[in-house]
Structure 1
Amino acid sequence: MSRSQRESVMEKVRAGKVQVLLLSPEALVGSGLGSGFLPGRDQLPPVAFACLDEAHCVSQWSHNFRPAYLRICKVLRERWGVRCFLGLTATATAATARDVAEHLGIPPEQGIPERSAAVPENLRLSVSMDTDRDWALLSLLRGERFGSLDSILVYCTRREDTERVAALIRTQIPGIPNRNSGK
């Protein structure tokens, strides 16, 4: 968002016209100074509830992926007074779910509400250790396991990688729509 867009959103938040505000962890937590996207607590309506999507990223195994996730709960509790949290994930193991619950402040004796620690049937995961990652990805996407699927998500750790991989897929796999041309 541009600066003027952010300011417009914050005016709506201050006026109580926003019921749900979606923020990235980085926007919430901000720099090391803790500034983030939001103005001071005294300038906003109370925050009643926080939902953390991709909550498995809060777990210790993802320190290097997006470190801001590790500070979300502390910032929400201490800076914004949030006491009610919901963590959502489709890929957490039982151990990861316990770690997330600890970060969310859920005592072990309260248990961890979870649908299942198993990977849902409609979700297929793959990890490759190939040195030629582009070739491995293209082979995987063309292969029997993924080739017939209607949609696929490919996660990348950096925006530059995402743009490069998207261009690679568009140019190397026929039938992939180009969002810029509408084809």
Structure 2
Amino acid sequence: MTSLDTPTRNYRRNPLTPWVFAIAVPLLVAGCADDDDEASPSSTTTTTHASVSTVAPTTTSTTSSSTAPAKPTGDQATAAELDTFLHTNLGLSADQPFSDLLDSPGLTWPGYITTITVDHENAHVRMQIDRTADKALGERASKAIANFIRLGNSGLASKVSWIIVEDGSGTVVSQTKV
């Protein structure tokens, strides 16, 4: 076996990484606190009908209660939990896109995440990458997300079995068991 046959890994440890996480995590926790000030949308609708007749105009008012929004299914709730988990651990606010991480030093794969879905305990992480040229990037992403879940959230680890990284068209690039 020659040196060309064995894969080599040239990972450099950034000495600032522990400090960044030590500072960023408390700031994220404080910044992600739920504000109860937000007004919830009303669940009633008022409809006014005006009738015109030759005798006298009439106005009627009808109030109907709309149905409550559907609760997310187990897979949708798990996908939302995974999305929130990744946003928090990568230093993003909940409404911030992953693409904001494209310019971050040391983070190569998170900036390419576009959507996260879960189907039968399989987390499908769709990334805007090329399935042939960026295969190594997809492999790093699936392994890193699986490790995040394994080491950081035991509740989520029981809900997700596989991390499947797909390109923009849905073609599987890499998969890792959690």
Question: TM range, normalised to the smaller chain?
Answer: under 0.3
What is the TM-score when the length of structure 1 is the normalising length? 0.25
State which structure, 1 or 2, has the greater radius of gyration over its C-alpha atoms.
2
Instruction: Indicate the structure with greater helix content.
Output: 1
Task: Calculate the TM-score normalised by the size of structure 2.
Answer: 0.25
